[in-house]
Structure 1
Amino acid sequence: MSSQAPRPRVAVIFGGRSSEHAISCISAGSVIGALDPEKYDVVPIGIATDGRWVLESADAGHLALGPGGEMPQVTGDAVVRLDPAAGLVVSQPGQVPAMLGEVDVVFPVMHGPWGQDGTLQGLLELAGVRYVGAGVLSSAVGTDKHFMKQLFVANGLPVVPWVVIRPGEWERDAPTVREAVASLGYPVFVKPARAGSSFGITRVEDESALDLAVEEAQRFDPKVLIEAAATGAREVEIGVLQALDGGEPETSEIAEITVAEAHAFYDFEAKYLEQSYRIPAELPADVAATVRELAARAFMALDVEGLARIDFFVMPDGGVVLNEVETMPGFTATSMFPLLWQASGLSYPDLVDRLVQLALDRGTGLR
């Protein structure tokens, strides 16, 4: 009698200590729902806001955005740890720890610090567990917008001018920082250097509003990035996937962000609640070709593996300027990255499956 091969065990890890905890939960709910239970053994693991790893319910419904906009969060008491020798170990309060067995691959649906920034990826490397997406270095650089820009410049990629405020610098010498910001020309955007989902971002029209904007950004990150506004630019986004054959990365259709006049920029409400975009973007053929070329170059410049969403400004003169790379973009079925690939002929379940297969095919360690 033949025995059926065991299904690969996929641990979907989500939540975390960053300001993007709820967004991570929503993304993970969609990923869990898309993984074929006949093909994969799915283990949902949530990281609570206090850092505890807990075994979550396989029913992804509780991870969805509530009808009134209520944000989900990780709850539970069954503490999980990843043991390099035993795999997943679960400890229930007052009970002997139970072994869940080996993990074949982790899908880290994590956004922001303490998850997307290379910290979780480093832990998985130490444990010898394969995982979806970018490695330690590219995850870290992709999360820190300051170092990301420096790497882009080193690779000849166009970016908007910026000023960085390092921790403590604003308190020590605010006048020098104000002078540097003034050299950019107002308006500017003030943002946390290592946060996402548009948290802590302020559009500043003149110097009088700079202090409050810096304070707002510092609520999320002691390191602040200030960028010159790309005045009159169109915002476009594109998805990039690692090629199955190891060749040039593949690029998706291009989307244009269409922000209503009620929003000063593409903020949280516009991004997650209104979903203002157009796919495909109506761009001249040469501009679209430039976006695709620069997206592939940015993907390779950061040594990204698996996936990335890459954001650009198309300037009034038709020039293309790189904004940022998201190494683990929002992953709900209605998030931009899956929508871009759906418009390119790759369905959401097939996209999730492809990313898991890419991770299963690669090892950990130096590569």
Structure 2
Amino acid sequence: MKKKIAVLFGGQSTEHEVSRVSAASVLKNINQSKYDIYPIGITKDGKWFEYTGSIDKIENGEWEQDEYYKTPDGHKFLFNKEVDVVFPVLHGLYGEDGTIQGMCKLLNLPCVGPGVMSSAVCMDKIYTKYLLEKFGIKQAEYIIVNAYEYKQDKEEIINKVENALPYPMFIKPSNSGSSVGITKAHNKEELKIGLSEALKYDRKVLIERGINAREVEVAVLGNDYPKAAVPGEIVPAKEFYDYEAKYQNEASKLLIPAALSNEKLEQIKETAIKVYKILDCAGMARVDFLVDKDSEEVYLNEVNTIPGFTKISMYPKMWQASGKAYSDLIDELIELAEERNNK
């Protein structure tokens, strides 16, 4: 008897469009002979639908107008336990932050990826830093700004930031993904612009010292005994790997393996697994690093618990380079979700 898999896509976050593309890729690669697949789309205003139409219409966003193939109340498949495993391909808030994971836990449904606590902590860049500091994981120096303090006295906060960190610096919403709302500031004017941009997406902003670094990523897979794929390196088409460089600019390059010594690659893999365990990740995560171009010092950048699954995304590509086909990766993620739910 086939297992019933609900693949959730879309969602209410700023990464709605990326989620659709990732989900379309998962749906094209999942083994249809092994599973009954139920694509469940979530609109930007939070409506749930079961969708039985063309995968291409999921990718380009036309699925919402495809009334003939769209059934309302898609969430009932979960609430009625008509599925065996939930595969949330929902990047960002309301999907990657513990909310969907909590719902699945209440329903006792296996859910692909980390659980409630791990998802919530990894989604919040500031709390990820707080936790990893305790374990001596090297990270870029940082300072935190919140919306209330900034509105009270902008100049005081700007001075505080400038006294704490040198330019250039990165300004990031604490809870956001796909580089949405992230800017790089080389001076005070760009810092002000960056803070205004980041505060559109979150009331907490993380500001980090800019490191002249290479961007290296590691795909990690597993529950109690996680393993790491061969690390990959991002060569962005722009000054840093922002949303446009990730998803729209084909000049960005992916190097697998990363152009580093075997010793450095092993160090990065070991650190990725250590971070994965500290944060109690399960199923999967992509652990991102910055490698200083001069000293080759390795700094933890961030952890993504539902990494991109598009045809150009690093997570499946790193596993393919490590000998694991895309469809086999999906099989293992489903098995890991069931294993974790039974413990």
Alpha-carbon displacement from aligned partner over 1:102-145 (angstroms, at most 9, x marks no partner): 21000011111111100110011111111100000010011110
What is aligned with 2:132? 152
What is the alpha-carbon distance in structure 2 between the residues aligned to residue 147 and residue 304 of structure 1? 15
What is the alpha-carbon distance in structure 2 between the residues aligned to residue 198 and residue 177 of structure 1? 23
What is aligned with 2:87? 107
What is aligned with 1:227? 208
Alignment of 1:250-329 (within 5 A): 250-260=227-237, 263-273=238-248, 274=250, 275-315=252-292, 316-329=294-307
Moved over 3 A (4+): 71-77, 82-85
Once the two structures are TM-superposed, the CA of residue 44 in structure 1 deviates from its matched residue by: 0.4
Pick aligned residue for 2:103 from 106, 116, 123: 123
Alpha-carbon contact 1:13-1:109 (below 8 Å) kept: yes
What is the alpha-carbon distance in structure 2 between the residues aligned to residue 134 and residue 72 of structure 1? 30
CA RMSD for the aligned pairs? 1.7
Question: Would you say 1:167 and 2:128 are equivalent positions?
Answer: no
Question: Would you say 1:20 and 2:18 are equivalent positions?
Answer: no
What is aligned with 1:207? 188
Percent identity of equivalent pairs: 41
Letter in 2 for 1:122: G
Alpha-carbon displacement from aligned partner over 1:165-204 (angstroms, at most 9, x marks no partner): 2232210232332133211111111111111111111110
Runs (5+) with no aligned partner, structure 2: none
Letter in 2 for 1:356: I
Letter in 2 for 1:149: K
Question: Would you say 1:340 and 2:334 are equivalent positions?
Answer: no
What is the alpha-carbon distance in structure 2 between the residues aligned to residue 50 and residue 64 of structure 1? 18
- The structure carrying a bigger helix percent of its residues is 2
What is the alpha-carbon distance in structure 1 between the residues aligned to residue 24 and residue 138 of structure 2? 36
Alpha-carbon contact 2:77-2:83 (below 8 Å) kept: no
What is the alpha-carbon distance in structure 2 between the residues aligned to residue 15 and residue 164 of structure 1? 30
Letter in 1 for 2:169: V
Once the two structures are TM-superposed, the CA of residue 327 in structure 1 deviates from its matched residue by: 0.5
Query: How many residues align structurally?
Result: 335
TM-score calculated relative to the size of structure 1: 0.87
Alpha-carbon contact 1:82-1:127 (below 8 Å) kept: no
Letter in 2 for 1:79: D
Question: Would you say 1:81 and 2:75 are equivalent positions?
Answer: yes
TM-score calculated relative to the size of structure 2: 0.93
Runs (5+) with no aligned partner, structure 1: 1-5, 66-70, 88-101
Alpha-carbon displacement from aligned partner over 1:296-350 (angstroms, at most 9, x marks no partner): 1110011000011111111121211110111100012321100000001001111
Over alpha carbons, which structure has the higher Rg? Answer: 1
Q: Which range moves more in the overlay, 177-186 or 308-317? A: 177-186
What is aligned with 2:220? 240
Alignment of 1:31-42 (within 5 A): 31-42=26-37
